[in-house]
Every structure is written in structure tokens, then in C-alpha cells.
Amino acid sequence: MEETNKNVLGDCFTSAMALTESGVPHVPTRYILPPSQRPVLSPSIGTGSINLPVIDLSFLHDPLLRPSVIHEIEMACKEFGFFQVTNHGISSSVLRDALDAATRFFDLPAHEKMLLVSDDVHTPVRYGTSINHATDSVHYWRDFIKHYSHPLSKWIDLWPSNPPCYKQKVGKYSEATHVLHKQLMEAISESLGLEKSYLQEEIEEGSQVMAVNCYPACPEPEIALGMPPHSDFSSLTILLQSSQGLQIKDKNNNWVCVPYIEGALIVQLGDQVEVMSNGVYKSVVHRVTVNKDVNRLSFASLHSLPMNKKISPAPQLVNEDKPAAYGDFSFNDFLEYISRNDLTKQRFIDTVKKNKF
């Protein structure tokens, strides 16, 4: 049955990379966005008017300087739900190696990658295009491989065996981002007035999904997107990118380009932190633009509590004046939701809000 399903998928599957390599002069109709959803690709968008936060994490380890870093994180979380980090403890060689392994994977012949194709969101390792090419009403100029990554020993044998360097290079990056995530969650908990050990056990035993994305050069980037506006289900998403392309929505509902900073990593708050903070912090809505000239790669490391562990507002952040604004949910609840619903029509977080306006 599974083999039959893969054959059916193969019959209707054309990757964005294959379209780029074929030299199509225009994007196929299925990729064309309605005019109201098309990006404004101006070099000046998001520059000059807004300074997006960049935080040096090396000071987190200095007891005298840590409070000022926690304050920076608090301000960034309140204002944007987003920040970039430098001196994060992951070496530039580990970052380069991860991007190199991704490049080699997406450069594989199509039949190699198709061995991993699936439209089942529960599959622990799956290759695909768009968001879910089998059900998307509008397609997105993106190919991806997603795999569970923590604990590494449980999942790594299911990862691609080709290219031969993939498991070693991406495995090292996955382990490093798991450590970084724990440090960031401690800091974010502190910034909310919680103990830094809040949810420590659940975070250590939590889920990590690595979404490795390829956004090939696109002949008409002004009428297509790599990913539609959305927020992530995770507690945090740690993003490594090879070039600029990410945009976030600010408090005024304007799209702001996130600059590429070599060696920096992007931290995006997800729905789990919005719920945990009882709405003090909001998950960041973001999208991905594409360009005519280069393939863009990214590693989105999505960290969450264990699959069936429910997240709810921290009791310390709930009182008579500020009652719980959200119900609880788990990673598995999110997977069930996206298997039945179009994420471009309604954000998952809106389904767990107690007061839906």
C-alpha cells in the first residue's frame, strides 16, 4: 500500500527544483498567488524604519551581564516575537557543513529524493514540495526534507543515506541546536518572571523537527512565495539561512525583511510560547519570498514539548485580572489539525484562544 501511495505521488509530483532546472520562463499557474497576497519585492522594504534585534548570547554566561541580556530578550519577544543571535556557541564550520549537506541532498537526482516522498504529516522523515503538494490549492516555490531529530539516536538511522555526509553533518547541527534551544528557553522563562528551570524536563525530553528547505531561483518571484504567512506550532524555531528571504510581520501589519547576517541564527517564537506566556509574548507571523538569481537554503529547527504533552498558560502568569486566554494543546494536536485543515485559511493558534474575535 505504501509503495502504491508513493507511485501515485510520483505521478503528480514536480519539485520546484525540477522546474527551475528545466528553465521554465514563467511559474506554472498553480504557483500564482492572488494579487492581494503577492509580495512587494522592494530592496528598501523593512530597512531604515525598523531595527530588528540582534542579541549577543555570550553575555548570558556572565552573572553580572546576564540580566541585561534577559531584558534584551524580553523586549525583542514583546515587540517582534523574533530576534537574531550571535555568539550562540555553534561554530561556523558546523553551520557551513549543515548547509553543504543540504545542498548535496537537493542536488541529488529526482529518483533518489523520491524514495523519501510522502504527504503524510506523521511520517518521521519525508521529502516534499510546497507545503503539501497533494492538497495545496496554491503551491509554494519550495522543496523540503523534514525529519525528527531528538533524541538523535532514535531517528538518525531513518535519515537519508545519500549524500553520505548528511547524517554526520546535519546530526552535529541538530544536537547543537537542541542545546541552544534549552539555553534560550531558560532565558525566555526568566524574562517572563518564571524560574529558568520552568518546563526543563519537558524541554529536555521534547520533540525536535528539522525542516530543511530549498527555495530554488524563481522566474517570477513577484507573483509567488516560498512559504505563505504562518506562525510555527513550536516553542521556538531556530533558523539558519544561506541568504535573505525571510519576512516577518510587525505590530503594524507591515512585512519587514530579515537581513542576512553571516554566522547569526534567527530565533522565532512559536505558538507554544505564546500559550505558555498567556499572550504576553506572541508567536511571529512570517513568510518566505523567493528571488530570480540564487537558490536559498534554510534549516528550521522546530522545538516543542513531547508529542502528546499539553502546553498551557503558566499558572504564575494567570490571575483574576489576567485569566487564562488559551486552552491547552500538544504537538500531536497540531499535526491532526494540519492533516485536516488549510493553514493558509486559519492559524492553528486561533483555534486554542478562549476569546475568539
Alpha helices by DSSP H, the chain: 2-12, 16-22, 66-79, 92-106, 110-113, 152-155, 166-191, 200-204, 271-276, 331-340
Residues 248/237, Cβ–Cβ less than 8 Å = no
- Indicate the pLDDT class of residue 259, thresholds 50, 70 and 90: very high
Q: How confident is the model over 37-63, as pLDDT tens digits? A: 999 876 544 433 468 999 999 999 999
Residues 155/124, Cβ–Cβ less than 8 Å = yes
CA angle 31, 119, 24 (to 5 degrees): 30
Q: Could you give the CA distance from residue 18 to residue 106 in angstroms, rounded to a whole number?
A: 10
Q: How confident is the model over 67-95, as pLDDT tens digits? A: 999 999 999 999 999 999 999 999 999 99
Q: How confident is the model over 299-346, as pLDDT tens digits? A: 999 999 988 899 999 999 999 999 999 998 888 888 888 777 776 777
* Helices 66-79 + 166-191 axis angle, to 10: 90
- Residue 4: its pLDDT value, please? 40
Average pLDDT estimate for 138-165: 96
Whether the predicted pLDDT of 7 surpasses 50: no
Domains of the chain, first to last: 45-351 (2.60.120.330)
- Residue 292: its pLDDT value, please? 95
